[in-house]
Amino acid sequence: MEEVIKLDEIDKYNKLFGLETRHPLVSVVDLSKATQWPEHCKINYGVYALYLKDTYCGNIMYGRQSYDYQDGTIVSFAPGQIVETKMIKDVQPNAHGILFHPDLIRGTALGQEIKNYSFFSYETREALHLSEEERETVMDCLHKIEIELKHNIDKHSRRLICANIGLLLDYCMRFYERQFTTREEVNKDIIVRFERLLDEYFDNETPLREGLPTVKYFADKVFLSANYFGDMIRKQTGQTASEYIQNKLIERAKEDLLATDKTTSEIAYRLGFQYPQHLSRMFKRVTGCTPNEFRSQN
């Protein structure tokens, strides 16, 4: 069985590619300077990593899918993710990137914010494609961090390094939002499919088997990660995917309340609620009245 490299130290990565380690918790890497590289490896990330790929130098597998990247593309990974990389034989990799250990940002503002950078959990076919100008911005951020790493460590070092990593991640968030907009046609198609899948879910016996629908259930159906799917839905509709599902639940409940003589309990179980009072609570929170009040008023 193929060995999985547990990448829990920055130095391990640098040794893998024959690069110098300047700081134990963070490294800005330029793979065009790599003196060696594995042709094929499986890495279990214990650090955060973000790469800017400049030329096609190999295939990255995440889960069962191949990463969607061309020239000038960003891919990123978070601790706990297992990634398979295949390099083309005798072709020097050409990518810039940054790797940083969770300990670097522990107790800092960035440490508290890191969970908001949802793109670390994007999976398949969800890489960020950059314009030339955006690429320059990313390179500028990496360059600033690199300068800081070459500077003698003093009391400002950690704060400045973390601030610049935060800046880089903020730019990536902005560029992803731009990508959601430029891919609007594709995304609209996914929202149409989401709407259709929601209807199918409630038209069949699925709620009785699966319970309440989850964001992950629909993300899987359209071959996206839950985070990418959720961010895209929010960008397109102004609602989170959970709110979208909740509104559909309330719509369905209203229909049943007015078009059938089913009890609130029967409607709740039919929609996938485990306990009828959960439907009543959600219904009252969203509409301002209980299901029975809604029925008698209408």
| Distance in angstroms between the alpha carbons of the first and the last residue of the chain | 65
pTM of the model: 0.73
Closest CA to 43 of 21, 33, 58, 30: 58
- Provide, rounded to the nearest whole percent, the portion of the chain with pLDDT above 90: 59
**Mean pLDDT computed over every residue of the chain:** 87
pLDDT tens digit string along 123-132?
646 888 888 8
For the chain, the structural domain boundaries read 5-182, 204-297
The domain 204-297 is classified under which CATH number: 3.40.190.10, 1.25.40.390, 3.40.50.970, 1.10.10.60? 1.10.10.60
Architecture field, domain 5-182: Sandwich (2.60)
CB-based contact 223:125 (threshold 8 Å)? yes
pLDDT in the model for residue 46: 94
pLDDT tens digit string along 24-77?
999 999 999 999 888 888 889 999 999 998 754 445 454 444 444 445 789 899
Residue type, 45: Y
pLDDT in the model for residue 2: 67
DSSP 98: E
